[in-house]
Structure 1
Amino acid sequence: MKQKTKTFDFLLMISPLLLSGFGVVMIYSASMVTSVLIRDEPAYSLALKQGMWLAIGLVVFLFASYFRYTMYLKLTKWIVLLMFVGLLSVELFGVTINYSKSWLSIGPFSVQPAEFVKIGLIIYLAAIYTKKMAYIEDFFKAVLPPLVITSALLALIIKQPDVGTAAIVFAIACTVIFSSGIKFKHLSLLIFIGLIVLIAVGFNMVTDEKISRFTGAYHPFEDPDESGYQLIQSYIAIGTGGISGVGIGQGIQKLGYLTQAESDFIMAVISEELGLFGVLFVLVNLSIIVLRGLFIAKKCENPFGSLLAIGVSSMIGIQTVINLGAISGLLPITGVPLPFVSAGGSSLIVLLFSVGILNNIARHVNYQRFNEETAETEDTKEPKTRTTGRLRRNYSS
Structure 2
Amino acid sequence: MLKKMLKSYDYTLVLAPIILSLFGLVMIYSSSMVVAVSDKYEGTPDLFFMKQLKWLILGIFVYIMVLGFPYKAYKIFLKLIFFGAPILLVSVLLFGKATNNAQSWIFGFQPAEFIKLGVIIYLAGVFSNKQSYIQKFVPAFGPPLMFIFFIFLLVYKQPDLGTALLILAISGMIIVCSGIRLKHLGRLALVGVIGATLLYPLLTDEQLNRFTAAYDPFHEEIADEDGYQLINSYIAIAAGGITGEGLGKSIQKFGYLPEPHTDFIMSIISEELGIFGVGFVLFMLTFIVWKGFTVAVKSPDPFGSLIAIGIAGMIGIQSFVNLGALTGLLPITGVPLPFVSYGGSSLVLLLISMGILNNIAMFSRLKSSEKQNNEEKKIAYL
TM-score interval, normalised by the smaller of the two chains: over 0.9
In 2, distance between residues paired with 1:123 and 1:42? 40
- Residue 123 (structure 1) aligned with residue 121 (structure 2): yes
User: 2:59 corresponds to which residue?
Assistant: 57
- Offset of residue 92 of structure 1: 0.8
- Offset of residue 111 of structure 1: 1.0
What does 1:144-183 correspond to in 2, within 5 Å? Answer: 144-183=142-181
- In structure 2, stretches of 5+ residues that fail to align are none
State the AA in 2 paired with 1:73: K
What does 1:62-77 correspond to in 2, within 5 Å? Answer: 62-77=64-79
* SS class of match (1:220): coil
In 2, distance between residues paired with 1:241 and 1:80? 46
User: 1:271 corresponds to which residue?
Assistant: 270
The range that moved more, 93-102 or 312-321, is 93-102
State the AA in 1 paired with 2:132: A
What does 1:43-122 correspond to in 2, within 5 Å? Answer: 43-104=45-106, 106=107, 110-122=108-120
* SS class of match (2:103): strand
User: 2:211 corresponds to which residue?
Assistant: 214
User: 1:389 corresponds to which residue?
Assistant: none
Question: Structure 1's 6 and 376: CA in aligned 2 closer, same or farther, altered over 3 A?
Answer: farther
* SS class of match (1:37): coil
In 2, distance between residues paired with 1:282 and 1:309? 21
Report if the CA contact (8 A) 2:338-2:346 is conserved. Answer: yes
User: 2:191 corresponds to which residue?
Assistant: 193
Question: Structure 1's 382 and 350: CA in aligned 2 closer, same or farther, altered over 3 A?
Answer: farther
In 2, distance between residues paired with 1:26 and 1:167? 28
TM-score, structure 1 normalization: 0.92
- Offset of residue 100 of structure 1: 1.2
State the AA in 1 paired with 2:223: P
- Offset of residue 347 of structure 1: 0.7
Question: Structure 1's 68 and 255: CA in aligned 2 closer, same or farther, altered over 3 A?
Answer: same
TM-score, structure 2 normalization: 0.95
- Offset of residue 277 of structure 1: 0.8
Report if the CA contact (8 A) 1:86-1:113 is conserved. Answer: yes
In 1, distance between residues paired with 2:373 and 2:4? 10
* SS class of match (1:111): coil
- Offset of residue 226 of structure 1: 1.6
1:133-162: per-residue Cα shift (whole Å, max 9, x none)?
A: 111111111112211111111110111111
In 2, distance between residues paired with 1:160 and 1:195? 23
Report if the CA contact (8 A) 2:237-2:270 is conserved. Answer: yes
State the AA in 2 paired with 1:116: F
- Residue 21 (structure 1) aligned with residue 26 (structure 2): no
Question: Structure 1's 377 and 132: CA in aligned 2 closer, same or farther, altered over 3 A?
Answer: closer
Report if the CA contact (8 A) 1:264-1:338 is conserved. Answer: yes
Residues matched between the structures, number: 378
* SS class of match (2:22): helix
1:237-286: per-residue Cα shift (whole Å, max 9, x none)?
A: 11111111111111010111001210100000110111111111111111
User: 1:390 corresponds to which residue?
Assistant: none
Report if the CA contact (8 A) 1:12-1:359 is conserved. Answer: yes
- Offset of residue 380 of structure 1: 7.3
- Offset of residue 35 of structure 1: 0.6
State the AA in 2 paired with 1:15: A
In 2, distance between residues paired with 1:7 and 1:305? 16
State the AA in 2 paired with 1:309: A
User: 1:394 corresponds to which residue?
Assistant: none
User: 2:246 corresponds to which residue?
Assistant: 247
- Indicate the RMSD between aligned Cα atoms, in angstroms: 1.6
Report if the CA contact (8 A) 1:135-1:142 is conserved. Answer: yes
In 2, distance between residues paired with 1:132 and 1:382? 39
Question: Structure 1's 201 and 134: CA in aligned 2 closer, same or farther, altered over 3 A?
Answer: same
* SS class of match (2:267): helix
Report if the CA contact (8 A) 1:6-1:370 is conserved. Answer: no
Report if the CA contact (8 A) 2:35-2:259 is conserved. Answer: no
Q: Percent identity?
A: 47
State the AA in 2 paired with 1:66: G
In 2, distance between residues paired with 1:4 and 1:74? 23
- Offset of residue 34 of structure 1: 1.2
* SS class of match (2:105): strand
* SS class of match (1:331): coil
In 2, distance between residues paired with 1:45 and 1:224? 31
* SS class of match (2:334): coil
1:29-87: per-residue Cα shift (whole Å, max 9, x none)?
A: 11101111231101111111111111111111112211000001111111223312220
